[in-house]
Amino acid sequence: MSQELVDQVSKYLTPAIPIEPISQGAEAVVFTTTIHPYLPTINEKQKFIIKYRPAKRYRHPIIDRSLTKHRTLSESRLLAKLYQIPGIHVPKLIACDPYNGCIWLEFLGEDLPDAFGFSNLKNFLWMHASENQNPYGDIVRETLFKVGEQIGLLHWNDYCHGDLTSSNIVLVKKDEKWEPYLIDFGLGSTSNLVEDKGVDLYVLERAILSTHSSYAEKYNEWLIEGFSEVYKSNGKQGAKKLNEVMKRFGEVRLRGRKRSMLG
């Protein structure tokens, strides 16, 4: 991340809010901070996420301002709605400044033992694929099943994530078990189209295949088990809808993410 960018964010947030960069995507940069935007500090160890959409100098300022505002708002709205749906796990929205492209979120996850890094699904699976670990252990199976359930709930409520990868799923430890949380809804949307859901599942399957190739088959099977469970628990209509989504998922898999089209 360029120093210029960090300086830009620091200037906007003022020196009262110290920031620690953690990742840079195409559209946004993500920082952690220890300061809550409007509540007093309760303990020194508290952490929050700041997602910042920097101005893009390549595009016309009018386009840039309108996009930044629009996207920050729509991501915040989506998160706020999802947070209220029982069973769905997403980070809590704390604050949103659409004009400056800034969102504050609750910090989730922890560091895995033995330097396996932050507790997203990717690092979790890598940890269990390492020496003296069982890549097919109960804990892995259970966790992937729950991830499937999260995506199932999302789709059942007609939302799509748009960019499902194993690093966009954060695991939070509760009573020695891992609870998956979906993060980064930058490409998320409300959608009742089976196409969008099929593509969502396909993107995740590809992501698992490319980052956890040796165990991907079983892993994807467990994910789908969890996914199906949500639909099946909704009776006849659920089973019917599940059928439609899985059918389209199969079609998307055959043709790839892209529709075939004229050159």
Partner 1 sequence: MVNLNTIAPKNGRSYYIALGLEGSANKLGVGVIKHPILKEQEIGDHSHDCHAEILSNIRDTYTTPPGEGFLPRDTARHHRNWCVRLIKRALKEAKINDPRLDLDVICFTKGPGMGAPLHSVVIAARTCSLLWDIPLVRVNHCVGHIEMGREITKAVNPVVLYVSGGNTQVIAYSENRYRIFGETLDIAIGNCLDRFARTLKIPNAPSPGYNIEQLANKCKNKDQLVELPYTVKGMDLSMSGILAYIDSLAKDLFKGNKKNKILFDTKTGEQKVTVEDLCYSLQENLFAMLVEITERAMAHVNTSQVLIVGGVGCNVRLQEMMAQMCKDRANGQVHATDERFCIDNGVMIAQAGLLQYRMGDVVKDLKETIVTQKFRTDEVYVSWRE
Dihedral-angle region of residue 100 (phi above 0 means left; psi in -120 to 50 means alpha; beta otherwise)? alpha
Question: Whole-number minimum distance, CB 37 to partner 1, in Å?
Answer: 27
Active site residue 7: no
Which tokens go with 152?
């199932």
Please tell me whether residue 192 binds partner 1 under the rule CB under 8 A: no
Q: How far is the CB of 66 from partner 1 (least distance, A)?
A: 8
Q: Calculate the CA dihedral of residues 206, 210, 214, 219 and round it to 10 degrees.
A: -40
Q: In angstroms, how far is the first alpha carbon of the chain from the final one? A: 37
With residue 213 as reference, give the H or E element that holds it. Answer: none
Q: State the DSSP code for 164.
A: -
Selected catalytic residue, list 163, 175, 184, 196: 163
Q: Are 110 and 120 in contact (CB under 8 A)?
A: no
Q: Which stretch binds partner 1 (CB under 8 A): 31-39, 99-107, 222-230, 253-261?
A: 253-261
Task: Return the SS3 of 120.
Answer: strand
Nearer to partner 1, 163 or 225 (CB): 163
Q: Which stretch binds partner 1 (CB under 8 A): 25-33, 129-137, 138-146, 151-159?
A: 25-33
Segment interacting with partner 1 (CB under 8 A) among 22-30, 33-41, 97-105, 117-125: 22-30
Q: How near is the Cβ of 72 to partner 1 at its closest, in Å?
A: 15
Give the contact letters, 154-173, x = binds to partner 1 (CB under 8 A), - = no: --------xx----------
Per CB under 8 A, 42 contacts partner 1 = no
Tokens standing for 148? 């499937």
**By CB under 8 A, is residue 86 in contact with partner 1?**
no
Distances (CA, A) of 241 to 150, 194, 237: 17, 9, 6
Residues within the interface to partner 1 (CB under 8 A): 2, 5, 24-27, 56-60, 62-63, 66-67, 162-163, 187, 256, 258-263
